Amino acid sequence: MAAAIQPVIKGARYFLAHTPGLVAYGSKPAREIARAPALAESIRARLRSYEDALSYPPNQVFLGAIDPDELSSMSRPWFLVKKEPRRRHPHGEIMPEEEFYAFMKHCDSAGLLWLEEEFLRTAGQRLQAHPLIKQTDPGGGKPFSTIEAQVGAQAALPLCLRDGRMVGCVFPGDKEDRSLAADLLLENLACKATASMALRTLLDDTGVQASAVDYLLNSGEEAVGDRYQRGGGNLAKAIGEACGCANAAGVDVKGFCAGPNHALLVAGSLIAGGVFRNVVVVGGCSLAKLGMKFQGHLKHGYPILEDVLAGFAILVARDDGRHPRLRLDSAGLHRVGTGSSQQAIFAALVAEPLERLRLRFGDVDKYATELHNPELTEPSGSGNVPLTNYRLIAALAAKRGEIGPGDIPTFVERHGMPGYAPTQGHVASAVPFLGHALDRIMAGALERAMFVAKGSLFLGRMTQMADGVSFIVERNPEQRKK
């Protein structure tokens, strides 16, 4: 029997869209505004400018301009630390909301998004200057009076900018089908657009032609479907279509926050089995989580920091002797009988695979877990999620006698990192560090990293189980020889 092909990860790229105008459509803000309409103005008064989003250190870490460990030396709150406000960074960009609305229009194959004609003309011209947007004039703008009439008749959902100015609207796909309601279609369209921009960036930066992509795995949390097939999905192919991947097939992989890790293991297995040569794992935003912690931010005098939509794209390919390997034999799995305590989950995802591979906890240079930005979660009482996870991993190392109890803080500092990702579930779970890990491994500054993601299966009310999956990415053995 022929030996399995070793999968490598050739690149990971990310995308942020600054969309303060959409914060009111996040699930939590929308529900609270419905109860107390005056909240809308309170939220609008605390929305950040595009310049502030560009200069925000965690956003720059997410896009590869700043190393995650550098955040530890920056005083909190980070939103008072102003870095150089640049749009493009080594791993991606932050797009302003005007251009993002125009790009959503470009991705809208069903014609459900209307934009005011002058707004679309201006934003469309700016979008055409983008190096990754090869398109003709989007056209199809509507007079403001026409849009206003549709919104006034409650036939469509208004689309507004940060200052509250209405510039468009979104129609339902079917007035009697809740699964095709305008707010859900806006979520799905935003997800498609953010993932598409991340994929375009990945292909451009790696030099891989769109036609060379064989298979796409979408790992987001959206539920694309209709009344008969809620969550039926395959946004993967829609994203591939938007990026010119004419030779690719694809499918969606769902696993709540652990979805990207599941998808990466599937991608690696498809490569190892010789089924495909190039598989891309993508994930778009979760608009529902926009502004999720806004009440804590208002209470503590913070700006509304959950104002960006994120996407990512990761290329898995056949071993080329150069790029970091995705070790399929390192897979850590939360099995049905594992149990849902945090100790049981981390024992299954971290301790068990390390023991199987005869590695010590310290042999993993960096652990990437749920990398939620604590500046987003702490004001609402949700704590510092990454720090809690790293302490649990360190405690397991102490339990195995590899470090002393007093060494836990040092272990956390050396093998962990501050959280910096937007609070968008699957986006924040482990994969934000992949771009940094690839850079460090290729430069010889990192030997291996473990990516640990957990999933909340109990949220669907079909089980009380949790979920989780982990894997190791490490330096290619051929590179070690050199």
User: What single letter denotes the amino acid at residue 329?
Assistant: D
pLDDT value at residue 299: 96
| For residue 137, pLDDT beyond 70 | no
Q: In the chain, what percentage of residues exceed pLDDT 90?
A: 94
Long-range contacts of 296-300 (CB under 8 A, 24+ apart): 296/378, 296/379, 296/380, 296/381, 297/46, 297/376, 297/379, 297/380, 298/42, 298/43, 298/46, 299/379, 300/379
Quote the tokens at residue 77.
Answer: 């709150």
CA 243, CA 103: separation in Å to the nearest integer?
12
Q: What mean pLDDT comes out for the span 255-280?
A: 97
Residue 341's CB is within 10 A of a number of other CB atoms, namely 10
Half-sphere exposure of 388 (CA within 13 A, CB side): 12
Closest CA to 201 of 314, 320, 55: 314
Strands 166-170 and 157-160, sheet pairing = antiparallel
Can the peptide bond before residue 77 be classed as cis, meaning omega within 30 degrees of 0?
Answer: yes
Taking all residues of the chain, what is their mean pLDDT, rounded to a whole number?
95
**Residue 3: per-residue pLDDT:** 66
Amino acid present at 4: A
Contact of 450 with 416, CB cutoff 8 Å: no
Strands 467-474 and 113-115: unpaired
pLDDT of residue 4: 79
Q: What is the reported pLDDT for 19?
A: 98
Report how far apart, in Å, the C-alpha atoms of 410 and of each of 395, 407, 444 are: 12, 5, 23
410-452 confidence digits (pLDDT tens): 999 999 999 999 998 899 999 999 999 999 999 999 999 999 9
User: Which residue carries 């206003």 as its tokens?
Assistant: 148
Q: How confident is the model at residue 184 (pLDDT cuts 50, 70, 90)?
A: very high
What is the mean predicted confidence (pLDDT) over 364-369?
98
**Two tokens, residue 312:** 């990512």
Write the CA distances from 23 to 306, 307, 370, integer angstroms.
Answer: 8, 6, 22
208: left (phi over 0), alpha (psi -120 to 50) or beta: beta
Measured distance between the N- and C-terminal CA atoms of the chain, rounded to whole angstroms:
29
Name the band, by pLDDT with cuts 50, 70 and 90, for residue 2: low
pLDDT, position 135:
66
- CA 210/CA 213 separation, integer angstroms: 6
Nearest to 303, CA basis, from 59, 112, 30: 59
Residues 405, 466 contacting (CB under 8 angstroms): no
Cα dihedral 102, 104, 105, 107 sign: positive
Label residue 159 left, alpha or beta by phi (over 0 means left) and psi (-120 to 50 means alpha): beta
User: Rounded distance, CA 203 to CA 85, Å?
Assistant: 25
pLDDT score, position 1: 45
pLDDT at 56: 98
Q: Identify which of 91, 11, 8, 12 has the alpha carbon closest to the alpha carbon of residue 322.
A: 8
Which range is least confidently modeled, 151-160, 297-306, 335-344, 445-454?
335-344
pLDDT confidence of residue 136: 57
What does the pLDDT average to over 262-287?
98
Amino acid at 403: I
For residues 202 and 223, the model is more confident at 202
Asked if 318 and 4 touch (Cβ cutoff 8 Å), the reply is no
Q: Which of 286, 256, 284, 266 is nearest to 215 (CA)?
A: 266
Question: Closest Cα partner for 64 from 10, 132, 11, 19?
Answer: 11
Question: Closest by alpha carbon to 300, among 381, 419, 410?
Answer: 381
Q: Is the pLDDT of residue 104 over 50?
A: yes
pLDDT category at 258 given cuts 50, 70, 90 is very high
* pTM for the whole structure: 0.97
455 pLDDT above the threshold of 80: yes
Q: Is the pLDDT of residue 140 over 90?
A: no
Instruction: Check whether 120 has a pLDDT greater than 50.
Output: yes
- pLDDT tens, residue by residue, 293-317: 999 999 999 999 999 999 999 999 9
Question: DSSP alpha helices (H): ranges in 108-181?
Answer: 117-128, 144-152
Mean pLDDT of all residues in 81-98: 97
Low-confidence winner among 2-6, 9-13, 54-58, 249-253 (lowest mean pLDDT): 2-6
Provide the pLDDT for residue 402: 97
